[in-house]
Amino acid sequence: MPIDDTGCLFCGQVGDRSREHILRKDFKKFFPSKPGLRILQPHPDGSLRTEDRPIDQFDVMINAVCRSCNGGWLNDLENYVLPMILTAGRDGKDLHNADFERLGYWAVIRALLRTHMTPSGRAPVRFFREAYTTGRVPSGCFAHWAYSTNYVAPAGAHQSTSDVNDDYTALVSFGLGAMLFQVTIAAGSKPSRRLAIELLKRPQRWFPQSFYWIAPPEASHKTLLPLERTQAFAAINSFGIAIGAQVLQDSGEYLDPREVIDVEHHLGLVMPGLSHVRLISPTEQR
């Protein structure tokens, strides 16, 4: 099937659109939510633009998915991973013998959809088509999750960049109760793919024993150490830290990453060769 950007992001079907929630609306039954979505967009000069919307994180939708996908396999996938999310995210319990492969697939799907809230930072359609046709995490996508002592980034945070060579790299983070998911997406050259992997490995080095790979899934179980709130925001801003940008928290205040990351990692916080990179997507949080 030729790729048609006017059709469903996943199957390409034209017409019969339905509004797909970025995060399931039924999550309102299980996680705190209240109207008041704040969009925080940092500018290169350090200024900050904010916009408030009278909705909560589970009301955010995009009109780019057909009714068949929305009410079919996407709904089935959400139902399948829901017990895992409630066990860890709502109840704060350890996940034993969980199907992390499917949890990773779900997290990547949500992250791909989340990028389409920002026209300038949308993930290429080929990722959606590959996820649909294979039923697996698309090549170039990676994910891990962590426990957090605070409910962070409930509406998600999305940072991405692209260039004239069609290289695209994105980092998407979103919280669900005690869980923090992070997904990177890379299209184009091998350096873009290496950068996507490194953007997740960095917080794993900063905060050892706090993250668990779910795309690709780890083979062995381990007990995770929860991230403190400031540590979670350092992880969320892994991309920004890599290019020397300021770390923005949901309060609208900036955080010095050196205050929460051990001194042994300070020299490598800004990655060489990325001085030209400019993040084109806003951070949206509550």
Cβ neighbours for 156, distance < 8 A, ≥ 6 positions apart: 22, 23, 57, 114, 117, 172, 173, 174, 284, 285
3-state secondary structure of 89: helix
pLDDT number for residue 1: 34
Angle at 121 between CA 119 and CA 126, to 5 degrees: 95
Report the predicted TM-score, pTM, of the whole model to 2 decimal places.
Answer: 0.91
Locus of tokens 């892994």: 238
pLDDT number for residue 276: 63
Locus of tokens 């799907």: 109
**Residue 284 and residue 167: Cα distance in Å, rounded?**
23
* Chain CA centroid to CA 126, Å: 18
pLDDT number for residue 155: 84
pLDDT number for residue 51: 75
pLDDT number for residue 119: 76
pLDDT number for residue 254: 83
Please state whether 19 falls in left (phi above 0), alpha (psi between -120 and 50) or beta.
beta
Tens digit of pLDDT at every position of the chain (286 positions): 334 456 899 999 887 888 889 999 999 999 988 787 777 665 656 566 777 888 888 988 888 999 999 999 999 999 999 999 999 999 989 888 889 999 999 999 999 999 988 777 899 999 999 999 999 999 999 999 999 999 998 888 888 887 656 789 999 999 999 999 999 999 988 889 999 999 999 999 999 999 999 999 998 878 899 999 999 999 999 998 998 887 777 777 888 999 999 999 999 999 987 756 666 555 555 4
pLDDT number for residue 204: 97
